[in-house]
Amino acid sequence: MVQVPSKFDHLKKIYVDTTHIVTELDHPKVYYTIKPEVGYVICGYSNICFVLKDDADLDTERLYVFNEKENQKLMEKVDG
């Protein structure tokens, strides 16, 4: 299991199954690659911590796309 340093406990954490992250909230689209030996990366704009799941596929080129506004819209459709 990835150990994120306690100094980042206050950050929102998103657990992902790939090392390739794309995020855009109220900022430009940014791309990150999580180094498997580190196990997490923090978005410099939103301060969201993306953490590798234990069963993450380290060999895939697949992207995890995080857009909180779009995710919220999808959740509202499911709940509504």
Question: 33 pLDDT exceeds 60?
Answer: yes
pLDDT classification of 11: cutoffs 50, 70, 90: very high
Question: 79 pLDDT exceeds 70?
Answer: no
For the chain, the structural domain boundaries read 6-79
Strands of the 13-18 sheet, one edge to the other: 13-18, 49-57, 40-42
pTM confidence score: 0.83
Residue 17 to residue 36: CA distance in whole angstroms:
11
Mean pLDDT of the chain: 88
**Which superfamily is assigned to 6-79 in CATH?**
q5lls5 like domains (2.60.260.40)
Question: 78 pLDDT exceeds 60?
Answer: no
Q: What is the pLDDT averaged over residues 51-79?
A: 79
